[in-house]
Structure 1
């Protein structure tokens, strides 16, 4: 049956247009129940039980469960509980959820695919008996609620089995009951079951807002949205992402386009949580402050005194929250001391996340478990946000449990690829067709090789170089053509866009794309034909670019080498093979390229990187080794940088409004204060006025008797940097394109499409530039590109944090039942703490300075003029060498931590103890 709706509208020219919309209705859409003998469906298409036994005392007869949209959005965690079965999810609801929350829709979709849940998606909008038209004056929401009730009633009449509508909307329940349906709040239904977890997975919104006994802890209400919008329009309020401090739980930063805004104290933070998008009011300049120099790990204090010697920053307060980052958090239960109490506090593993009030009857069982909790809201009169229990992960300290915690904490998509994604893959025996070969440059006769870390299986780049008859060189970078296999809009494309990056942990790799692509068909393995995207230059002997060309190609790598193997070939003068000759040419040119970058002001920063040798059976770390630094690493890096810059120039020239680029903002001068002061105390002047001056200053700051001193300076310099960011060229001012760390006017990521989705997009843009593929119309929407960049930046940051946390976890495992004396260096001297770097393990620990007698004040005195701590005759400066005893403190069930005890110099009568985790000393901020 065909239903038509006709209406008229006026276009921009003023012409009146007649619009006809058609909606097809059918009578042969089956209900999905095994109890049905009418619908013409195959047995394998019937998923609902013939006799759906009631599992809730709230409903005393067999029934199918229907939910409205808000019930799913508010209670998605409860919906994932396996106790709820025989669910009918209506098309109306699916489409509304998809429109309102892509994250909830994805989780709902996973529930519908779980065969054990007996969940059926019914296309009610196209079944003749269940389609409802919107009445005049009826809101879309009211029409959709009516459609849900009509469909539920049709099932009840069609199958003679009760339909139960679960909704928290009292009016919707009343109307459903008038029609003869059973309608209940989800909480009432859950409380009637014998499930130990279903009730506890319910959103805490059912509690009502809790009031704390101490009303002095109340927060200021957030402004209404109308006032927020007016304030932003008038330039009095500002919107930006909220980043909680990792050292001070009472301090945060809001990132605006042109400056950062400092927030200090509970009142100014005003219930914002790390990752939220907030609106801030900037205080008058007379109230601006400098960041605190204290390490604050407890929210039960308001001590956030600013550092009097530091430069004051724009300071503000949160007046509204535009978007809550309602993610799930891992941690432990802080059981209420009141016997029989069901409301407890949850302590997140992340120290910069506040405690969360939850309700559970399982406190005894969960006391020694890592659990997952979701935040539902933060009432204005509550000291803590409210949330609900989601699930238990396992025993605290268990390696598998802690690994899962790590992934959840950093929001890493680590689930298996769905059947829909795998269906987009080519066959395992895929080969390059003659038709495809004809479209591409055939480079199989050129000697190309890859150079990667040992054990690398996702090889996405390879190189070649040889001398031309005119004395110049041809050099090429060949990148796996992942975009050939990942077409826009496919399931695999959507999944790769969501994951955004491959995550490298100490003992595992979590791929952005399935293994068939990452380690096989796209990996440029030696001796195998592969599709590539090539960037080829003619370079002068001085490594000046004469010309550049780009083309889709087919290559056959002559060798897949490790850095060490390539280095050995370069240094072996007797090796005159084509591969060795090519490598020597690349090596020579790379040295020139690197020196030119440094002369232009590019920074060479440092990161103490380590590797664990893992037992293949137990997965436990056996040995810690420093990552070797070889010239071939720099060689590969230089040509990857050259390719990225060349491609950036090309795509910006062709698509000035929608090129996906990468920028690295110049740090504000105040960021360099700790570096300048620390170096000054050691007799060195650091000039950070320009990138070039900074680079020269670092090169000159060398101690002959302490080779590690310069490395520490470069580690500190990395800390002064801001994060590099992906951006859409049409949404950012031209003067902000510059990449500070690389001293490059323009930059992008092209060279790693197996592990970065940004590079896939750049490949599509470049393909459109050269006419190799013109099917990428969505790439021309700068706003879509901008939205994509937001996810790319978030996922990259989380992947970095996860990698650091993985190193930390394995360091803990390594130090179980071990105690070692190690050399360390003081990186920062704070008002109440020292930050000490342990080079051997690439770790940095924050240690609190205190008296052994807790009833006495700390004897350590902080000098803000020269940033030193002193106790008696002992004075601590930045870069001072110390010897510490390292051992694992397992007394705190929430946080195992590496305990540092100062051995040298000795401070009689005083203690220096670890407060918080030791963490990997530095992260990649500007690549």
Structure 2
């Protein structure tokens, strides 16, 4: 049956055109009920005996409305909810309102065990309805749901065994109309109540029960239209809110003000106005009298929250009154740090970044007797300290104590101090290694589910028995006779690169980098490709690896193992003796690696003059060329920055950390890195030539001068200048920043310089101007990632673009040329890459806690950051950092039990913490803590008592200063040069939770992307 609707409309050009819309109606759309004999199904999804409950004792099918899925998707995902009819009307509305929820709903529908059936009511002859005059689209859709429910009820009423149909809606008016039409209708809460399942009841999203609505705490958010007009006029500024790691009452956005990019600070609960870290917000600047010279730099806990808020308010009032808040004994001289920094307040939310959060229940909020099942309101602490406490309602409070749980935010009304959410599920016992690993994967949005059967079905049917066949040589060069070898960390199984060198008759060298040809197995657009694009990167944890591709490819068919033939994508140069490129070309190839070496094995071959085989001779030549390539990069201004150099040794059976060892870097680490960098640069130029508007490239923005201000001031007292005007001047400054009697100083300076860098990013060439392409850290105009397609999806895309660039016969679709899609993909990959790094660091932190559990260690460290009430210390031996509070709290094991009292105060002029005794002019404080200072600390694990203490709900690495005590605090002296020199011989660079690290883009040492402080089941990072 065909229905037509005709109307006319006016185009932008002023022409009037007739539009005809055709709508096909059918009478052969089946109900999918297993017991139905009328429809003539070829496949059924709704079972013949659906479930029952106390409210509906007859077996029944459920027909939810749109808002049930939008507001209660967590409940609908649970296996207790089955035999659901998803109307086409509802599905389309969900897609329009929320794509993430739509995707989750499609995933449920795709699981046949859940018995969810999509019924095309908009194309069924008996369920399609026209919109009535003056009827709103929402009312029309509600009516369509009722009509479809009535049809289903009539259709299945004579089935045997007997079943009924229940419409589920939280709209009271819709329920009343349904009941007036003799339909069964129920709210989701009443339906879940009838299931007698406390966990499902806790998952109900109902903000009204948690919001007392008595007092307005926050300002009202402005409307989207008001925000849009304000941003266009320049009254408001848009940006992504970032909450301070150490102080959740302080945030900032990075935005453009008067044509110049800069940071706006937002300080205090009222000014933050219900934002959550990652929200896109609109900010209004405060009067200049309320601007700050620096961020607060205060570390606070929940217990200190009220005191800190009062302090912030007092400080703002004092600033508004132009009162002098400087230290009474501080110098009145000005500096760069005295320049007021813009401060603002949030006036509206443009886009929320709410997600599910992992954490634990605050024991103090449980005030019912053990065993009680009465619903109570509790507070939830997220593991991420940037997230505010969340209030939710539960009937399982006592059983959830000591557990890691997941909670989702539903709303944050003006009358609620904290956001309101609902319980999702438990993960397991706090402190359990597998539970904590799942927590960190969920918290960092790392996909870690098993590969689906559909994805695995796309692997070669031969499995591990797959071999190169004669037809694979079509379009490829045969390099099997070359002395190709790979050099990797010990235990590496995903070998995605190999090298060779051949002397040429003219005295030059042919050098080849051979990369696993992943795209031969992963075809564009198929399910495996989609899964790899979604994962974005392989994630390396301390004790395991979350692969981007199925193991058959990553560790076997695409791994360039020795003595087996493998498909590759090769970059071939002709280099002269000075390592200058004479010519470069690219080709698909077949190789047979002659040796799979570790860095140590390759180094031993170089050093042992008795070894004169062809592979060893080739490695020696490559090593000499690599040194020349590195020198050229350094001469051009490439930076050499410090990187983590420690790893855990794990117990074989339990995988518990038993020791920490320093990682020794060899020449062969740099050998591989130099040729990977050269390949990436060469490929970047080639794909940009072919795809000037859509090439996937990688840039590293120039860091703003403001990033270096504190560092410049800190080193000036040593007579050292840091010139960051270009990467070359910065590199020279770092090379010259040497204190002869303090050998570790230069490495520490490079570590801290790393923190001044910007993040390296993937980008689409059509979205930036050519000058913005430049990679600051590598000092190159073009760069991309080509050399690790087994573990980075960016490299997969670059392989496809390179193949299209070198072979005119290759057909390719819009995925390589669509600028918007490529830009969107770059955003996804940047997010996945960033989350992978953070997950790896969290894994290191977890194993650090396991290593120090029940231990108390004393070690030397260096002050790397000064805060107003604390300072951060780096302990090189363990590659860890910790906060030391400027208080009189004694370390564990001491006899001093007095309550902590601040005894050091922050001096903004010197960016230091110093004792408060009265000083004459020119006199040095008895105690002064500054950047680069060396201290002795005690390291232990501090269990967070707010979570209950047992096992520590939010365990923290605790650092305390050791004796001798000086007025309640102890220091090891102000940079004792003899001690520094003695210690520096064994010191190594630390793990850096905030560093840029260039993601393997060319720092001086070999890095694994995403947490190279660990020994793990996998791979180094390559450039």
Instruction: Tell me which residue corresponds to 1:266.
Output: 269
- Cα deviation for residue 5 of structure 1 reads 6.0
2:416 to 370, 382, 385: 382
Q: Is the 8 A contact 1:97 1:105 kept in 2?
A: yes
Q: Distance in 2 between matches of 1:800 and 1:671?
A: 22
- For these two proteins, the number of residue pairs brought into alignment is 917
Q: How does 1:195-344 map to 2 (within 5 A)?
A: 195-207=197-209, 209-211=211-213, 215=216, 218-256=217-255, 258-283=261-286, 287-289=290-292, 290-298=294-302, 299-300=305-306, 301-302=308-309, 303=311, 310=337, 311-335=339-363, 336=365, 338-339=367-368, 342-344=376-378
Offset at residue 899 of structure 1 (A): 2.5
* 1:141 CA displacement: 4.7
- Cα deviation for residue 331 of structure 1 reads 1.1
Q: Is the 8 A contact 1:481 1:532 kept in 2?
A: yes
Q: Answer whether contact 1:800 1:924 (CA < 8 A) is retained.
A: no
Mapped to 2, the partners of 1:345 and 1:19 lie a distance apart of 56
- Deviation, 1:4, is 5.9
Structure 1 gap ranges (5+): none
Residue among 147, 150, 155 paired with 1:153: 150
> Which residue of 809, 812, 821 maps to 2:849?
812
My pick for the range that moved more, 94-103 or 588-597, is 94-103
2:899 and 2:432 mapped to 1: Cα distance? Answer: 36
Partner of 1:877: 930
1:88 match: secondary structure: strand
Distance 1:575 1:286 in 2: 73
CA distance in 2, matches of 1:484, 1:356: 48
1:760 to 796, 820, 826: 796
C-alpha separation between the residues in 2 aligned to 1:372 and 1:728?
36
- Structure 2 residue ranges without an equivalent (≥5): 158-162, 317-324, 327-334, 369-373, 890-896, 916-924, 946-951, 973-989, 1000-1023
**Distance (whole Å) between structure 1 residues aligned to residue 760 and residue 798 of structure 2:** 17
Query: 1:879-923, CA deviations, whole angstroms, 9 ceiling, x for partnerless residues?
Result: 22222222223353322222223235543533799xxxx975554
8 Å Cα contact 1:882-1:905 kept in structure 2: no
- 1:865 counterpart (906, 909, 913): 909
Over 3 Å counting, the alpha-carbon distance change for 1:409 and 1:671 in structure 2 is same
Q: Choose 462-471 or 84-93, whichever is displaced more.
A: 84-93
Secondary structure of 1:82's counterpart equals coil
Aligned counterpart in structure 2 of residue 402 of structure 1, from 421, 436, 440: 436
Looking at structure 2, the residues matched to 750 and 285 of structure 1 have their Cα atoms a distance apart, in angstroms, of: 49
Contact 1:603 1:741 in 2 (8 A): yes
Change (3 A) 1:847 1:488: same
Q: How far apart are 1:392 and its partner, in Å?
A: 1.1
User: Which of 194, 197, 208 is 2:196 aligned to?
Assistant: 194
1:176 maps to 178
Change (3 A) 1:491 1:604: same
Residue 458 (1) aligns with residue 456 (2): no
Mapped contact 2:943–2:953 kept (Cα < 8 A): no
- TM-score norm. by structure 2 comes to 0.84
Instruction: Report 1:74-93 matches (<5 A).
Output: 74-93=71-90
Instruction: State the partner residue of 1:49.
Output: 47
Residue 653 of structure 1 aligns with which residue? 689
Deviations 1:347-380 (A, max 9, x none): 1111111001111111111122111100112112
User: What is aligned with 2:957?
Assistant: 898
Contact 2:964 2:970 in 1 (8 A): no
**Pair 1:834 & 2:871 matched:** yes
Distance 1:372 1:494 in 2: 27
Residues 935, 971 of structure 2: 8 Å contact kept: no
Does 2:775 match 1:739?
Answer: yes
Please state whether the residue corresponding to 2:935 is helix, strand or coil: strand
Give the whole-Å Cα distance in 2 for the aligned partners of 1:256 and 1:231.
Answer: 15
In the alignment, the residues of structure 2 paired with residue 433 and residue 23 of structure 1 have an alpha-carbon distance, to the nearest angstrom, of 52
Match of residue 693 from structure 1: 729
1:846 paired residue number: 883
Deviation at 1:123, TM superposition (A): 4.3
Cα distance in 1 between the residues matched to 2:173 and 2:457? 44
Contact 1:255 1:261 in 2 (8 A): yes
Residues 4-13 or 600-609, more deviating: 4-13
Residue 165 of structure 1 is aligned with which of 161, 164, 167?
167
Whole-angstrom CA distance in 2 between matches of 1:642 and 1:315: 44
Query: How far off is 1:241 after superposition?
Result: 1.9
- Give the superposition deviation at 1:171: 4.2
1:803 and 2:840 correspond: yes
Distance 1:68 1:210 in 2: 28
Aligned pairs for 1:621-636 (under 5 A) are 621-636=657-672
Q: 1:363 to 1:689 in 2, by over 3 A?
A: same
Question: Partner residue of 2:383?
Answer: 349
CA displacement 1:273-325 (0-9 Å, x = unmatched) = 11212222344556443222322343443245799762433433222212111
What's the offset of the Cα at 1:342? Answer: 0.8
Q: 1: CA distance between counterparts of 2:616 and 2:11?
A: 67
Secondary structure at the aligned position of 2:295 is classed as: coil
Summarize the Cα distance change of 1:314–1:875 in structure 2 as closer, same or farther, 3 Å threshold: closer
- Which is worse superposed, 307-316 or 836-845? 307-316
| Residue of structure 2 equivalent to 1:886 | 939
Once the 2 structures are TM-superposed, how far is the Cα of residue 341 of structure 1 from its aligned partner? 6.4
Give the Cα separation in 1 of the matches to 2:470 and 2:143: 57
Match of 1:197, SS?
Answer: helix
Distance 1:635 1:202, change over 3 A: same
Shift, 1:677, TM fit? 2.4
* CA shift for structure 1 position 181: 2.3
Change (3 A) 1:425 1:320: farther
**C-alpha separation in 1, matches of 2:149 and 2:472:** 52
Greater mean alpha carbon deviation, residues 403-412 or residues 525-534: 525-534
Taking the aligned partners of 2:481 and 2:689, their CA distance within structure 1 comes to 32
Q: 1:773 aligns with which of 778, 790, 810?
A: 810
Kept in 2, the 8 Å contact 1:845–1:919? The answer is: no
Give the match's secondary structure for 1:764.
helix
The answer to whether structure 1 residue 587 and structure 2 residue 623 are counterparts is: yes
Q: Give the Å deviation of 1:843.
A: 0.5
How far is 1:807 from its partner?
A: 0.5
1:439 alignment partner, SS class:
coil
C-alpha distance in structure 2 between counterparts of 1:134 and 1:476, whole Å:
68
CA contact (8 A) 2:210 2:377 kept: no
Aligned residue for 1:392, secondary structure, equals strand
> SS of the counterpart of 1:198?
helix
Question: Does the 8 A contact of 1:863 with 1:869 survive in 2?
Answer: yes
* CA distance in 2 between partners of 1:640 and 1:905 (Å): 51
Which range moved further: 824-833 or 305-314?
305-314
State whether residues 293 and 830 of structure 1, in contact with CA within 8 Å, keep that contact through their aligned partners in structure 2.
yes
1:369 lines up with 2:406 in the alignment: no
Does the 8 Å contact 2:882/2:958 carry over to 1?
no
Distance 1:250 1:13, change over 3 A: closer
In the other structure, the counterpart of 1:532 is: 568
Q: Does 1:662 find its partner at 2:698?
A: yes
Contact 2:936/2:971 (8 A) holds in 1: no
Structure 1 residue aligned with 2:1009: none
Contact 2:238 2:283 (C-alpha < 8 Å) held by counterparts: yes
Alpha-carbon offset, residue 100 of structure 1: 3.9
The residue matched to 1:541 in structure 2 has which SS?
A: coil
Measured in 1, the distance between the counterparts of 2:214 and 2:403 equals 27
3-state secondary structure, aligned to 2:928: strand
Deviation of 1:125 after TM superposition, in Å, equals: 4.6
Q: 1:879 to 1:285 in 2, by over 3 A?
A: same
Change (3 A) 1:813 1:338: closer
